[in-house]
Structure 1
Amino acid sequence: MRWRVAMVGKPKLGFVAEGVEIYARRIRRWAPLELVSARSGRPAAESRELERLTEGYFRILLDERGELLDSRELARRLAGWEQRGPGKLALLIGGAAGHDPGLRHRADWVWSLSPLTLQHELALLIALEQVYRAYTITRGTPYHRE
Structure 2
Amino acid sequence: MRSLVLAVGRPRLFAREIERYAERLRPFGLTLGFVRRQKELFARSEGMRRVVLDERGRLFTTLELARFLQGWAGERVAFLVADAEGFGEEDRRRADLLLALSPLTLQHELALLVLMEQLYRVHTLWAGHPYHR
TM category (shorter chain) comes to over 0.9
**How many angstroms does 1:79 deviate by?**
2.1
Aligned position for 2:17:
19
Q: What is the rounded CA distance, in whole Å, between the counterparts of 1:98 and 1:30 in structure 2?
A: 28
Q: Pick one of 75, 81, 105 that aligns with 2:72.
A: 81
Counterpart for residue 43 of structure 1 = none
Partner amino acid, structure 2, of 1:58: R
Give the structure 2 partner of residue 60 of structure 1: 51
Measure, in 2, the Cα distance between the counterparts of 1:4 and 1:29.
Answer: 13
CA distance in 2, matches of 1:29, 1:49: 26
Distance in 2, Cα, partners of 1:38 & 1:60: 16
- For the pair 1:49 / 2:47, whether they are aligned, the reply is no
Larger Rg: 1
**Following TM superposition, by how much is the alpha carbon of 1:35 offset from its aligned partner in structure 2, in angstroms?**
2.2
Superposition RMSD on alpha carbons, in Å?
Answer: 1.2
Partner of 2:78: 90
Give, in whole Å, the separation in 1 of the partners of 2:67 and 2:31.
Answer: 23
Residue 7 of structure 1 is matched in structure 2 by 7
Tell me which moved more, 56-65 or 20-29. 20-29
Report percent identity of matched pairs. 50
Q: Which runs of 5+ in 1 are unaligned?
A: 41-45
Structure 2 stretches lacking a partner, 5+ long: none
SS of residue in 1 equivalent to 2:32:
strand
Secondary structure of residue in 1 paired with 2:72: helix
